[in-house]
Amino acid sequence: MMYQMHPELRMLLILLLTPLTVMFLHAVLVRLRRTVPPQKVAFHASLCGVGPVFLLLWRYVFSSVGPTANLALTAVYCIIIYCALSYIYFHFYNMSETARRIRILCEIEMAGSMLPEDLASLYRTTDVVSVRLRRLVALHQLQYVNGVYSISGRTLYWAGKAILCWRTVLGFERKRVGP
């Protein structure tokens, strides 16, 4: 049935399966690598997804395109789409892991309803900060030596800087706004 379809339609269908492929691989990796920081596991799942998705693309799309400039362009297109869909999946996972709004919704969903003070006690400022500090140390973005935290990796630091610049472009208030 796959062969009866137009090759470019096959390509679109395979690419659209990317988030599902990454999610299944992620579920496997989570169970195999319990000690690795969760965000790293999600990133590794995106990397592992390259194998099955591009194997399918090779089998059903690239082999029928032929070795022309068209093949290079199709490959570039597939790489862009794969990276973008993996990135979206990573953010979806990250929301489930780190977003306070999602946690608030899930807590109320499980409890049925909640008093405002229960919600506040469940989610204290000290917890919010401590969880993030531990997470940043696990991701090697901070190091904790002799009771103080200092910058270790620069990836997220530069991401933070870029976000502040983009806020200025969008005309958000210039002061550094808290969470």
Partner 1 sequence: MKVEVIVYGLLLFSVSLMLHIVIWRIRLPLMSSLMLVLLLVGAPMVFGLCLMADLCGSARFFGLNAIETAEAVLLQFCLSGSYIAGYPAVRVVSPSLDILIMIAASPNKQMGEEEILHRYMEMRLVSARIDDLRSYYLLVERNGRYVLTLPAHLIAKTFLLYRRFLGLQMGRG
* Shortest distance in whole angstroms from residue 171 CB to partner 1: 4
CB 57 within 8 A of CB 11: yes
* Shortest distance in whole angstroms from residue 55 CB to partner 1: 19
Residue closer to partner 1, measured from CB, 2 or 27: 27
Residue closer to partner 1, measured from CB, 2 or 129: 129
Residue closer to partner 1, measured from CB, 1 or 163: 163
CB 16 within 8 A of CB 82: no
* Shortest distance in whole angstroms from residue 116 CB to partner 1: 6
* Shortest distance in whole angstroms from residue 160 CB to partner 1: 3
How far apart are the C-alpha atoms of 135 and 98, rounded to whole Å? 10
Question: Long-range contacts for 91-95 (Cβ within 8 Å, ≥24 apart)?
Answer: 92/19, 93/26, 93/38, 93/39, 93/42, 94/39, 94/42
Residue closer to partner 1, measured from CB, 51 or 168: 168
